[in-house]
Structure 1
């Protein structure tokens, strides 16, 4: 509202952001306080969740958009990726904690050593893979692909967080606390890592292809 009031050039986009935000928030309030059937609740969650995701597009494109700095945006997403990768470290710590022998946590077992090496190695490997692509430099030349870059990171973050959870599950399995099969444990880690690698590859390829780079 302040930007819309003080900048005539961006008044319309400021008001559009306010308008769509109020509409979506009013919808959440209705879901929270109005008795609805379970079917209506799930339908409302789907519609409102979709509106939350497309709100930037609706507000920005309907009113001409606002300026943004490619390197700053790439840095924000990169920092978010680093924060999410912290889940991998936490998953490794949680996995190895009960695998320490001796009861006082001073004697390492081979299982604990394997979990730490694999978990930390996987986390840093994912970090290295992400930052191989200079997203900021690419966005400088293809600002029109900003939404592809932004929305494409949603499954990237899902994959990173899922990998951290998968490491925790692996630790529980090795501690004999999990009641699932070894195949399920492997898939619980392999699938989110696969999703992450696939999305990083697709972002890299699509952003470079639109630049004509092969």
Structure 2
């Protein structure tokens, strides 16, 4: 009879095997994700408020900026834990500190949206990033094979963090351009660090972690559809809201299906494209929920926007989501009609807000696109299988 090894307060942070069998998310990682639900919900809710009040530019800009902080902090923890999860007491405490940072970010989201005051968000972001710096320092001490990469991660993160604090002194257009420059600097840190030797992340583990976060952001759309049902059934069975809720559910089902229909793992050659491209998947998935809520308040007469604008509140994030999943999950592996169907569907979705019942039309178009994609994928898979294993000739 085997027993689990005793947990200790400290053990050397050795890199884990990239081929480790049955590698799954730990309870601590799941808890970490759960705490990000608050920040994602705050960002989506405030995006909905801005769009409903006809503040499109302000809402989209603020949402993109806040969501970057949420996504980038989550992503850096995820890739680090895939390579160096020692699960000792120090590691656990460091992750809990990072979770506190996520909650601080969530608390600062309203101020960031309403007055472009990013002080609280910056505090939370720094708490998370400096917790990550501490982890990289541990990795540098314990893992000589990847010491150069770990040091580069730690140094690069600290330098860019100084830039984020200096950003608080900027104002107007200079602040936005500085923000963009810092985003680019953040994205370049892993590229610079990994040039010394790729850290040993686990492809299957990373794919599972990204799938779990996709479920979290899809939860915003599920909640929005539930709100539409609640309002529709609570106001004398309002048929418009019930149909809107049904369309929202269909859109969420289609979003789930197209993402999880096939298992796609990041490959070393395209790891950065795959990883960074998920920013569009995550942010657009949460934004779909905000768009559905916009349409709920629009049907209730509380939103100061046109029918077309309300339609685009759903059409744009759905189109971004569909196009991003197509590029990351299908383009590298498929040929023929599968490379044409999704873009055509996206164009039709972006035209849908000009017709009546646009949300229902978007839901129908997206569901049809997913159905066609699934049929073509199954057909291509069956053809490939038959070519690989040809049937024997019948006996004479």
- Normalised-by-shorter TM-score class: 0.7 to 0.9
**Unmatched segments (≥5 aa) in structure 2:** 1-136, 336-379, 381-396
Aligned match for 2:308, one of 174, 179, 183: 183
After the TM superposition, which parts of structure 1 deviate over 6 Å for at least 4 consecutive aligned residues? none
Provide the rounded CA distance (Å) in 1 between the counterparts of 2:260 and 2:288: 18
Q: Partner of 1:52 in structure 2?
A: 186
1:150 aligns with 2:275: yes
Aligned partners of 2:228 and 2:242 also within 8 Å: no
The partner residue of 2:262 within 133, 147, 154 is 133
CA distance in 1, matches of 2:292, 2:334: 34
Higher relative contact order (CA 8 A, sep 6+): 1
1:12-63 deviation per Cα after TM superposition (whole angstroms, max 9, x unaligned)? 111000110010001112223xx445343222211112212232112222x2
Shift of 1:161: 1.6
Deviation at 1:169, TM superposition (A): 0.8
* Aligned counterpart, 2:217: 84
1:16 aligns with 2:152: yes
Question: How far is the alpha carbon of 1:204 from its aligned partner?
Answer: 2.3
5 Å matches for 1:87-98?
87-98=220-231
CA offset at residue 65 of structure 1?
A: 2.0
Structure 1: segments with no counterpart, 5+ residues: none
SS in 2 for 1:57: helix
Q: Distance between the aligned counterparts of 1:101 and 1:79, measured in 2?
A: 32
SS class of match (1:3): helix
Q: Secondary structure at the match of 1:100?
A: helix
Q: CA deviation at 1:209?
A: 5.8
Task: Report Cα offsets for 1:75-133 as digits up to 9, x if no partner.
Answer: 1111111101011012223334433345xxxx533223212211122111110110112
Distance 1:3 1:143 in 2: 21
Alignment partner of 2:327 out of 175, 178, 202: 202
Deviation at 1:188, TM superposition (A): 1.4
Contact 2:284 2:318 in 1 (8 A): yes
Residue equivalent to 2:130: none
231, 251, 268: which one aligns with 1:122: 251
Aligned CA RMSD, in angstroms, stands at: 2.1
- Return the TM-score normalized by structure 2: 0.48
Tell me, yes or no, if the aligned pair for 1:95 and 1:169 is still in contact at 8 Å.
Answer: no
Contact 2:228 2:293 in 1 (8 A): yes
| Mapped contact 1:145–1:207 kept (Cα < 8 A) | no
Matched with 1:6 is 142
CA distance in 2, matches of 1:13, 1:64: 7
In the alignment of these two chains, the number of paired residues is 201
Q: Secondary structure at the match of 1:178?
A: coil
Which secondary structure state, in structure 2, belongs to the residue aligned with residue 124 of structure 1? Answer: helix
